[in-house]
Chain A
Amino acid sequence: MAQTFAGTQKHVPECEISRKNSDETDVLLSLVETASPRKEERSSDAYRRRFVVKVETDTQGSILDHLDVHSNVRSRGNRGEIMTSKDHPLVRPRVSVSRIDDFVVSSGITLSKLGAITIVSDGRTVPIREIWVELESIMTSGWRGRTVGISSEFSLIVSGIMLRSVVSSAASVDSCSLLSLPSIIVSVTEVISSVVMFSLSGRLVDSSGTFNVVMSSMKVVCSSRVAMVVICSFVVNLSSSSFLTVDSHYCPNCMENLPSSEVRLKKNKCSNCFDCPCCFQTLSTRAGLAPVRASALTEGEENKDVKATPKKVYYLFCSLCRWSSRDAGIPDQSVATGGWPEQENPHVTRINALIDYHKVLASIEKQQCERKKIHPKRSFMPATMYSFTSALVRKRIGRPMKPPMQSQSSAQPVPSVASEDVDELSSDIFTETVDITKITTLEQRLQHPEVQAEKINELRPQHRQFLVKRSQRCRVCEHNVSKSDLCPQSTKFKILLAAFYHIPEVKIVTCEPLRPGKSSELLLKFCNPTQHQTQITILPLDTSLSTSLTEEKDIKQEDTQLSESSNLLPSTVRQAPVTEDPKVIKVVSNADLMLPHSSLILPPRDDAAEYDDTNDNHNFQDDPKLVVWRKGNKAVIRLHVIPHDTNKDNEDPVIVGFVMQHGYVNTIAALEHKSPQKVDVKVKLYLTVGQLVGET
């Protein structure tokens, strides 16, 4: 295998990225972006770079789980070989098959024997042979070569060229949106459901504030509204009580960042980048020499230039479907950027006249209202648009039946004239053969609503839409809970209060085969991400969260008062929060959980201890029945699951639920309050532990 690659690897720059070293990142990205995907323009340096993918993770072994997940996916679909390390250190999580379909639908990765993946785990490098990661349907060109950082636990770098050669389907609407957003905070949800394979390692909380952990496949797909669950530390508040605002606009292709006023002026579209009208990928600008013969034949003026020096001309080209601006008959440009002809809407003047006319009508109505001191009742009936133009109302208020507007408004445009002539069906249609490849699809037509061209060669490139960076604010106190860096290239955050960093992580390690009415062992791993020791207690599912809610409420009020006094946001500014009805949780637990009698104490996270092999178990007095294993801030506990007898013939997966109560130390609010506050937070968790096996 090594020999196989010898010829090509030489030209492959090592695509390494390290979160700690951002400079390296930049180098990598720029390298990738300069390379054009098409072969005839590929420089020797760019050759074969498409095969190199490096994945780095610092979550212990999680990548292995994911590769494993893939192998399952792919062997189901019989699409390509998978190579994963067979001797990876973790217990393989079981994959619940019901979720795999989702996975295939939303995206897919085929691993075959090319390329390179290196897994860095716990500071050791675990080589997993060479693998070609092929991303289908989830990459749009705008996303090429960018870092997909997922909750900063993980990053996946994909070189642009590879993507070109394997992107076979236009990305679906959803995946487009996620992939064109470099900043993940905004789109974590979407990335989870699309790039799935590279996981959020069990840290998904749904909007109602409950964990919704689906056995191992939770790493694959979880409830989509997962969103970034954020914690507003000012009012210890889990759940989706945040709203989004648009922060800044940028072009996903050229990464230009524009102030919002200019964005409005440009109708939200990038002036330099174009989308292919045929397959909706980003078009690239290509240089070529002016075809001498053609210009000599057509344009006499240019003829002279051509004779002197071969002129360089530019045209637009799509690397997926090979549409080019020459196909559409758009003349080549002599400058690389801009200058492309714009299509004007032929009705602009007419519509503007109509708009002016309506403005005049509205102002007349306003004047009349003021003069007569009448207030047109808010009309919810599909009644008149302007009270005074309607004959009915005029009659009622005793004015002449004839509309007054002729005399009053000079702005009235020529009214539309109806005609008896309609577009007749041309008789050709009954005889002419149709070449379907020359007729546009509805999608292509709707890409440009003003024109909706019917013939392929009438399509014109469309300006690329800007995307936005968003920030999240708490609905109650309007504090920012997440805010990304303004720079479009950056995937970092200025503020990130993700629950990920505050709520213990729960992972399913193993679960014995489940039989109705029989007890099975379930091992759960807890990990404390905070800087404070926390106590985790497992309570029955029917524990009302209300006790904790009242507790929380008390604190909330206290907090509000305090923050008001600290003059952070005067209460006058703050609007009454709009409360959305809580989302109904439809998950029903169909198994009993034998609850432990003791609770579990987790020490704070200690980054240094990660690399320390010495046994420092802090000498906790653990209940040996409960705690199976412990290291640093992590511990595995043993629980017992008894699936109900009732769901014997049921195909549904077994779901158990419980309430996890953990101590949470609010340090952010402590900045204002001097002393940190301790709160017990209760969270509902549902675990899908797997399918029932037979009676035996």
Chain B
Amino acid sequence: MLRGYEGVRYISDKQMVVFDIGSAYTKFGYAGEVSPRGIIRTEVRCSESKKIRRIIDYKDVEDLYQLLVDFLHLLFFKYVVISPKDARILLLESPLAVTSFRDTLAKVMFKHFEVGSILFLPSHLATISTLGIDTALVLDVGYQEATLIPIFEGIPILKAWQALPLGGQIVHENLKRYFRDTSDLDLSENILEDIKVRTCFVTTLERSAKLGTESALTPPPDVTYPGIKRIAIPGEIRERAFEVLWERDNDNLSLPTMILDAIVKCPLDTRRILAENIILVGGTTMTKGFASRLKSELLALIESDLYKAKLKVESFKFHTAPSKPNYTTWLGGAIFGTTDIPLRCLTKDVYLKTNRVPDWSNLIDNQKDETSYEI
């Protein structure tokens, strides 16, 4: 039943709105488009404190609810410009993300904005839509953490998931500590991010080995960073900022071991194929030198005692998606969202009746009941 005032809504009804709400940046746009309409920081002016707050800094669920209401209001009416009422939303979410966030998000969407339906799409799975293949090892290095799920023949090998708190955040902390210790500067997150993006890079494995030792090579040139206050960024820190991603932690884990460990956990016959179908997504992977460092680390590790016995893989190959890595996942969602898939969506009616979001980790939704597939 078409009511006059709903004109705008009905026209845009055909297109799904695709959100990829990351911990640092939110990618938004419409399904079927080749790039997101925009990428904005996942932050909003808190209605109580009047300060800009990041969504990930929420204190409790109530606080998160309020932040999300404000943030989505901004998204809907300023950026996506669509009436949220009865809109179809596609949300990309990591299967490894926090449940309370996902539940609160659904609550805000349905109860406050009264959206029509939400399709939760696992981000790693969505990513392979951009490649036209159905087997890939997806490594997502974002802001808070790096997550990895291999996908084989369209099925995620959940058993082999990997996650480490390695991402933009830890690099920022690394930089912040450096500036605090050397020049007693307490730089804001935004400036640190800017310094990171504009001046820092991932150095090569050979140079990295010599860093901090006496035989260290000449560091890259220093950079003077003008602004209200001038900041001198020594070449050394430019080179070392990202080293924290590659250092082994107490459990001997780092980014490259994530990939190798995941492959080890996969069945034997899939290992070689996965190693030759790696795709890197997430903003942090766009750093200069990231991919080449990852590759040389992998090749070095595979020869080391750690993996030599376990794993017989000779080469690693990387895919390039038709997009920038920081919005590849969004693009996967946008491609997937064009197909007509009403059955997979969580509709408003169902949500209001059950008042919960089905989840793979919940036994109610995930019983081994595949009878419907049998002939």
Contacts and interface: CB of A to CB of B under 8 A. Distances in A.
Given A246-B81, A378-B344, A442-B193, A354 B11 contact: no
A442 B34 contact: no
Interface stretch (B223-231, B243-251, B254-262): B223-231
Contacts of B277: 418
B316 A261 contact: no
B310 interface: no
Interface stretch (A139-147, A431-439, A514-522, A598-606): A431-439
Interface residues of A, number: 110
B11 A390 contact: no
B143 interface: no
Nearest to A387: B373
Given A193-B50, A376-B343, A580-B112, A416 B321 contact: yes
B95 A420 contact: no
B54 interface: no
Contact of A578 (B6, B111, B343): B111
Interface in A381-407: 381-387, 389-393, 396-398, 403
Interface string B302-326: 0000000000000111111111101
Interface stretch (A45-53, A466-474, A644-652): A466-474
Interface in A360-395: 361-363, 366, 372, 374-387, 389-393
B47 interface: yes
Given A173-B74, A223-B48, A416-B320, A442 B197 contact: yes
A396 B344 CA distance: 20
Interface residues of B, number: 128
A588 interface: no
A380 B366 contact: yes
Nearest to A375: B372
Contact of A366 (B32, B46, B340): B340
B39 interface: yes
A355 B222 CA distance: 46
Contacts of B289: 423-425, 429
Contact of A418 (B78, B319, B324): B319
Contacts, number: 295
A640 interface: no
A446 B25 contact: yes
B352 interface: yes
A177 interface: yes
A382 B95 contact: yes
Closest 7 CB pairs of A and B: A382-B122, A425-B289, A347-B322, A362-B339, A418-B317, A224-B47, A422-B291
Interface of B: 1, 3, 5-9, 11-12, 15, 25, 27, 32-41, 44-52, 62, 66, 70, 74, 77-79, 81-85, 95, 110-114, 120, 122, 124-125, 129-134, 149, 153-156, 158, 193-194, 197-199, 201-204, 207, 217-221, 223-226, 276-278, 288-289, 291-295, 315-324, 326-327, 331, 335-336, 338-341, 343-344, 348, 352, 358-360, 365-366, 369-370, 372-375
24 contacts: A224-B70, A260-B11, A264-B12, A267-B37, A351-B322, A355-B32, A375-B372, A377-B369, A380-B120, A384-B154, A386-B154, A390-B155, A391-B155, A392-B153, A419-B317, A420-B317, A425-B203, A429-B220, A430-B220, A446-B39, A449-B27, A449-B327, A578-B348, A584-B62
